[in-house]
Amino acid sequence: MTGMSERGPVPEAPVAHSPAGTGHGAFDGHHPPSRRRVEECVHCGFCLPACPTYGLWGEEMDSPRGRILLMKEALEGHIALDDVFVRHMDACLGCMACMSACPSGVRYDELIEATRAQIERLHRRGPLERAYREALFAVFPHPGRVRVAAVAAWAYQRSGLAGALHARRWPDRLPGRMGRWREALRALDGLMPPVSLGAVARPLPRQVGPHGAPRRRVGLVAGCIQRGFFAQVNWATVRVLVAEGCEVVVPRPQGCCGALMVHAGREASALRSARALVDAFEGWELDDVVVNAAGCGSTLKDYGRLLADDPGYAGRASGLAGKARDVTEVLAGLEPRARRHPVRARVAYHDACHLSHAQGVRSQPRQVLASVPGLEVVELGDDQCCGSAGIYNLVQPEAGEELGRHKADLVRAAGVEAVVTANPGCNLQLRRFLGPGVPVFHPVEVLDASLRGRPSLAGAQGV
Amino acid sequence: MGALEEVKAELARVLPPDAVVTDPAELATYSCDGLAGYRTTPGLVVLPTSTEGVASAVRACSARGVPFVARGSGTGLSGGALPHAEGVLIVLSRMRRILEVDPVNQRMVVEPGVTNLAMSKAVAAHHLYYAPDPSSQVVCSVGGNVAENSGGAHCLKYGFTTHHVLGLEVVLPDGSVVELGGRTLDPPGYDLRGVFVGSEGTLGIATRVTVRLLRLPEAVATLVADFPDPSTAGEAVSGIIASGIVPAAVEMLDNLAIQACEAATGAGYSLDAGAALVVELDGPREECLGRFGEVEAICRGAGATRVRVAGSEDERALIWKGRKAAFAAMGRLSPGYFVQDGVIPRTALGPVLARIAHLASEAGLRVANVFHAGDGNLHPLVLYDPDRPGEPERAEELATRIVELCVDAGGSITGEHGVGVDKACSMPKMFSEDDLAVMARVRAAFDPAGICNPGKVFPTPRLCGEVIGPYRPHPLELAGVAERW
C-alpha cells in the first residue's frame, strides 16, 4: 500500500497505523512523504550553500539533505516524529532555494509539505505554541478578519498607544517564563505595516473593462494579507492591467487561497480554502488567473496536485492551476501599450522565494521594471530568503530576524532608494528591518507610478 | 563510564551547548558523506568554531584512545568522512571565516569550512581566484580539499590542491597545534605540508589554510564538440595535446552522463551525441583566441559531428554548470550510484571504455562515464537501486573491478577523490606490501595510536573481508586485564 494509492478525505485525527505493519514507519498512511521522492536525493550536498538555515547554523539536520535523511529515517521507522524531528522540520523556511540548487531535481516542496501535514496530525505541540499557532491561523487566512486586524493596527498606530508601548519596550517587560514568546510578539509588533484606512475600506471593482482594444480577460486573486494590509497593491494591479488592455474580473466572494495553511501542514483547512477559491473562479471564462502575491501564486499553480484526491474538484482545480500567472508574467507577456513616464529612482529588486524558486519567475518582474524609463534596477547579488516565509518570522522569530537583518544590510550596501518585491510577506519583513528610510514596493506599484506620470516613487503607494 | 561517554561529558563541559550533538536522529544525519552507499552513525558529533575547540575535542579523544574523524561539507566521494560508530565526528562547517586577504602577494588565509567557491568570490574584485575547481566547488570546503588533494576540471593546466596550498595550521592527533609549510612557495626543510595535503584526514585536522591566488585570465574560450562515440572523442583529445596546446580543461561526457546533465541543467548538450568534449582555453587574448581555432579544426578533423562555441559568459557558465552537475544529477537516472575515480593513460581510453561496458552488461547494471580527458582521470558512475536485493553489492563489486581495470591498464585507483573506505581494499592491487608498510609508518609518525580517521586508506580485514587468522589471545587477555566477548 503506497501513499499515492490512498485517496480519500483528509483525516482530522491520526490515521490508525501500526509502525511495523504499514510500511510508513513513523508516518501514517495518508500521503506520507514519498519514499521514491526521498530516494531521489543522492546526498551530494549541492543544496547546502543555498539553504538559509544551513547558512545560519552550519549543521546537517538543518539542511535540505539532512531533513530528507530525517524523513527517510522516520519512513523506515528508525526515529519518531518527536520534538527533535519537529524542531528541524519547523526550522525550514520552505523557501525552496534548495530546489533551484538541486541537480537531481528532488521535489523538496512535496516532501516538506507532506511531512508537515503529518506533523500537524501526529505530533502534539506544547500548549502555548498551539495557542499561538491557532491564533495566527484564526486571523491570517481570513480576509475579513485581516481587515479588522488592519483597522485595529491603524488605530493602534494612530492612537499613540504604539508609541507609548514602544517607549516602554513592552515585549521586554513580559515575565521571564514567557521568554520564547517575547521574540514572537516583538516580531508581530515590528511587522505591522502603516495601514491606509482608505485603501482598506474601498472594495475592489467586480469587473472593469480594458483600456483600448481588449487583449486578455483576467481574474484577480485578491489575497488576504494583500487585501488587508496592501490594498493599494491590488488597486495598482487592476489599473496597470486595464491600462495594458486587460479586462479585469475580481470574483466574489473570495477567501484565502490556502497557501499559508499548505505551508504549515494544515491540510484540511488548506483544501477547504482551495475548493472555495476554485468555486469562486468558476464560470468566468478567463484567459489568466492573476496573482500578485508570490506565496499564493505558487500554491495556486499546485492546485491540481493538492485536490487530486477529490473527484469533484480535481479537474477544475488543475484547470485553474493551469491559468494561474503571477501579474508580472502576464505583463511581461504583453507588448507594452500604455505610455511609460520616467520614474527617476534607483531601486533593488528582491526575488521572493515563492516567485523565483517555487515558480521559476525571475526575468519577468525585471522585464516589467526595465520597461520604466529612468528607473535604475540594482541586483542584490544574493537571492537568499529574507526570513519572512509565510508565518515563519512569527513562529521562528530569531532565525527570521537574523535573515531579515542580513537582507536589510545587503539592501543598504546597495545604496538604493527603495526595494521592489512581489510578495506581501517579504514586503512586511523588509519594511521591518529597513525602517522608514527605504520604502518597499510591489513591481506593479512602480509600473503604476510610471503610467500615472509620477516622477518619483514618493507617492507610489496611493489608492 | 565508557571512553566515549567520558569524551561526551568532557566536551559538553568545554564546548558551547549547541556544539555537541548527541540526539540519535541528529547523529543519523551525519551518517554518510557524498558517498551515501556507506553509512555509519557516529557516536558523537561536535561542531567547534575555533582551533582551540578542535584541539579540545582531539585531546579528549586522544587521552582515552577514542577514534575521531574530521568532516567539512560532507561531499567527499570516497567515504573519507565516514564516521566511526564508537568515535567522535569533528565537523568543521562552522569554521568558515576568511581571516586575511593579501591581494598584492596573491594569497589568502581561511578557516577550513570556507567553501572552495567562496574563496574565489571573496577575491574576485581583485581579479584573483583560487584555481583548483572540484565539481562540487559551490559546497565543498577547503579543509576537505586539503585532505583529499582535490582536483577539478582545470587541474590539467593549473595543478591540484597541493600546488595551491602554501601553509597549514594543523591539530595533530595528540591535540597539539602545529604550523606546516608557510607563506612562501618552497620553505626549507622537509615538505610536511606536502605530506599532509592528500592524507585523507589520517594525519590530523587542518584548522587554518593559507592558499595561493592566481590572476583571472584575460580571455577564456570554451566549446562543446559532439562525437559519435567516446573513442573518437579520445582521438581529438590526443590530437589537441599532441599539437602542443595546453588547454585549461578537456572534459568528456558519454551519452548517459549527457542525459543526466541535460535533465538537470538544460545546458544545451546534444542528447543524441555518443560523447561530448568540453574544451576550454584561457590566457592572453591573442594566444587564447588564436589557438582556439586550431582546437576547433582538430575536433572537426577527428570526426566531431557538431561544434558549439560558447558565445557569451552566460553560455560558458551554463556549459560548466551542466558538466559540474554530472554526479549530483545522477539522481535523475538512478536512486543510487557509486562514482569511481580511476586514472588511465589517455591512449587506453577506447579499450578501457569497451571493457567497462562489457563488465557493466555482465553485471546487468548501467555505467555512465564522465572523464577529465586531458589528464586521463576517468569517473565511471555505477548506477544501482538500493532497494533491490543484491544490487548494491553487485554495484560495489563492479565499481571495484573497474578501478582495478584502470590499474591493469597502467593507471591508478584514484585521481582526485581519495582512497577513503571505498578503494582501501584495492590498495594492494596497486602497491606492494613494502609500499603500504612505508605509508603506515608515515601515518604512525603522526598518529601512533591509530585514532585519527581509522579504517581509511589502508586495507583492513574487517573492511576487505579477508579471512581472519586463527584466534590468538591478546596480551591484555593473557594478563587478565581485558576479556573478549
pLDDT of residue A227: 84
- Measured CA distances, B158 to A3, A239, B153, B236 (Å): 51, 58, 10, 21
Average pLDDT over residues A129-156: 80
**Looking at the predicted structure, is the pLDDT value of residue A213 above 90?**
yes
Q: What is the CATH number of the domain that holds B24?
A: 3.30.43.10
Using a CB-CB distance cutoff of 8 angstroms, which residues of chain A are in contact with residue B97?
none
The neighbour count for residue B158, using CB atoms within 10 Å, is: 18
Whether residue B30 lies inside any domain: the answer is yes
| C-alpha distance from A216 to closest chain B C-alpha (Å) | 32
Which residue out of A38, A104, A111 would a mutagenesis test of the B interface target, given it has the greatest number of B Cβ atoms within 10 Å? Answer: A104
Average pLDDT over residues A389-393: 88
pLDDT: which is higher, A2 or A397? A397
Test A46 with B264 for CB contact under 8 angstroms: no
- Paired with B101 in beta bridges are B108
End-of-domain residue from the set B215, B244, B278: B215
Contacts of A450 (CB under 8 A, 6+ apart): A340, A341, A342, A343, A371, A372, A373, A375
Q: Are residues B152 and B195 in the same domain?
A: yes
Residue of A369, A294, A346, A363 lying closest to A324 (CA atoms): A294
Test A43 with B335 for CB contact under 8 angstroms: no
pLDDT of residue A17: 44
Q: What is the CATH number of the domain that holds B359?
A: 3.30.70.2740
d(Cα B261, Cα B271) in Å, to the nearest integer? 10
Nearest to A39 among B75, B115, B335 (CB): B335
pLDDT tens, residue order, chain B (485 aa): 799 999 999 999 999 999 999 999 999 999 999 998 899 999 999 999 999 999 999 999 999 999 999 999 999 999 999 999 999 999 999 999 999 999 999 999 999 999 999 999 999 999 999 999 999 999 999 999 999 999 988 999 999 999 999 999 999 999 999 999 999 888 889 999 999 999 999 999 999 999 999 999 999 999 999 999 988 998 999 999 999 999 999 999 999 999 999 988 889 999 999 999 999 999 999 999 999 999 999 999 999 999 999 999 999 999 999 998 888 888 888 888 888 899 998 888 888 988 999 999 999 999 999 989 988 899 999 999 988 999 999 998 999 899 889 999 999 999 889 999 988 998 998 899 999 999 999 999 999 999 999 999 999 877 676 544 444 555 565 666 555 44
pLDDT of residue A1: 34
Using a CB-CB distance cutoff of 8 angstroms, which residues of chain A are in contact with residue B33?
43
Q: Count of alpha carbons within 13 Å of A193, Cβ hemisphere only?
A: 27
Q: Which A residues in the span 7-36 are in contact with B, Cβ-Cβ below 8 Å?
A: 36
Q: Are residues B348 and B412 in the same domain?
A: yes
Yes or no: say if B415 and B375 are a contact pair by the CB < 8 Å rule. yes
| C-alpha distance from B149 to closest chain A C-alpha (Å) | 19
Q: Are residues B227 and B191 in the same domain?
A: no
The neighbour count for residue B239, using CB atoms within 10 Å, is: 17
Model confidence at A174, pLDDT cuts 50, 70, 90, reads: low
Average pLDDT over residues A15-22: 48
Size of interface A-B (CB pairs under 8 A): 107
CATH code linked to domain A345-451: 3.40.50.1860
- Alpha helices, H only, A104-223: 108-122, 127-139, 143-158, 161-167, 179-191, 197-201
Chain B residue closest in CA terms to A68: B29
d(Cα A458, Cα A449) in Å, to the nearest integer? 9
Which residue out of A34, A36, A43, A83 would a mutagenesis test of the B interface target, given it has the greatest number of B Cβ atoms within 10 Å? Answer: A43
pLDDT of residue A197: 67
If you average pLDDT over every residue of chain A, what do you get? 88
Q: Which B residues in the span 319-338 are in contact with A, Cβ-Cβ below 8 Å?
A: 325, 327-332, 335-337
Whether residue B400 lies inside any domain: the answer is yes
Q: Are residues B102 and B87 in the same domain?
A: no
Using a CB-CB distance cutoff of 8 angstroms, which residues of chain A are in contact with residue B115?
49
pLDDT of residue B340: 86
pLDDT of residue A163: 67
| C-alpha distance from A373 to closest chain B C-alpha (Å) | 26
Q: Give the residue range(s) of CATH 1.10.1060.10 domains in chain A.
A: 23-122
User: DSSP states of A361-413 as a string?
Assistant: --HHHHHHHHTSTTEEEEE-S-----S-TTTHHHHSHHHHHHHHHHHHHHHHH
Yes or no: say if A56 and A399 are a contact pair by the CB < 8 Å rule. yes
pLDDT: which is higher, A265 or A187? A265
Yes or no: say if A219 and A252 are a contact pair by the CB < 8 Å rule. no
Q: Which CATH superfamily is domain A23-122 in?
A: Alpha-helical ferredoxin (1.10.1060.10)
B177 touches chain A (CB under 8 A): no
Which residue out of B139, B333, B334 would a mutagenesis test of the A interface target, given it has the greatest number of A Cβ atoms within 10 Å? Answer: B139
Q: Which domain holds residue B39?
A: 3-91
Chain A residue closest in CA terms to B323: A103
- Measured CA distances, B476 to A79, B6, B461, B462, B471 (Å): 39, 22, 21, 21, 14
Architecture of domain A199-332: 3-Layer(aba) Sandwich (3.40)
Whether residue B447 lies inside any domain: the answer is no
pLDDT: which is higher, A139 or B2? B2
pLDDT of residue A5: 37
Using a CB-CB distance cutoff of 8 angstroms, which residues of chain B are in contact with residue A44?
34, 75, 136, 327-328, 331
Lay out the sheet containing A418-420: strands in order across.
A375-379, A345-349, A418-420, A440-441
pLDDT of residue A209: 85
A44 touches chain B (CB under 8 A): yes
User: Looking at this predicted complex, what is its ipTM?
Assistant: 0.90
A84 touches chain B (CB under 8 A): yes
**Looking at the predicted structure, is the pLDDT value of residue A177 above 80?**
no
Whether residue B376 lies inside any domain: the answer is yes
Biggest alpha carbon distance in chain B? 78
Degrees, nearest 5: CA angle B172-B174-B178: 35
Q: Which three cell numbers stand for residue B203?
A: 594525519
Average pLDDT over residues A372-376: 96
| C-alpha distance from A370 to closest chain B C-alpha (Å) | 20
Test A42 with B331 for CB contact under 8 angstroms: yes
How many structural domains are present in chain B? 4
A83 touches chain B (CB under 8 A): no
Whether residue B392 lies inside any domain: the answer is yes
Test A45 with B25 for CB contact under 8 angstroms: no
Lay out the sheet containing A324-326: strands in order across.
A207-208, A246-249, A216-221, A288-291, A324-326
**Looking at the predicted structure, is the pLDDT value of residue A3 above 70?**
no
Q: Give the residue range(s) of CATH 3.40.50.1860 domains in chain A.
A: 345-451
Whether residue B456 lies inside any domain: the answer is no
| C-alpha distance from B463 to closest chain A C-alpha (Å) | 23
A41 touches chain B (CB under 8 A): yes
d(Cα B280, Cα B270) in Å, to the nearest integer? 18
Q: Are residues B223 and B320 in the same domain?
A: yes
Q: What is the CATH number of the domain that holds B132?
A: 3.30.465.10
pLDDT: which is higher, A305 or B332? A305
Q: Are residues B105 and B210 in the same domain?
A: yes
**Looking at the predicted structure, is the pLDDT value of residue A460 above 80?**
no
Contacts of A371 (CB under 8 A, 6+ apart): A336, A340, A447, A450
Whether residue B482 lies inside any domain: the answer is no
Q: Which three cell numbers stand for residue A136?
A: 495566527
Q: Are residues B81 and B121 in the same domain?
A: no
Q: Are residues B19 and B71 in the same domain?
A: yes
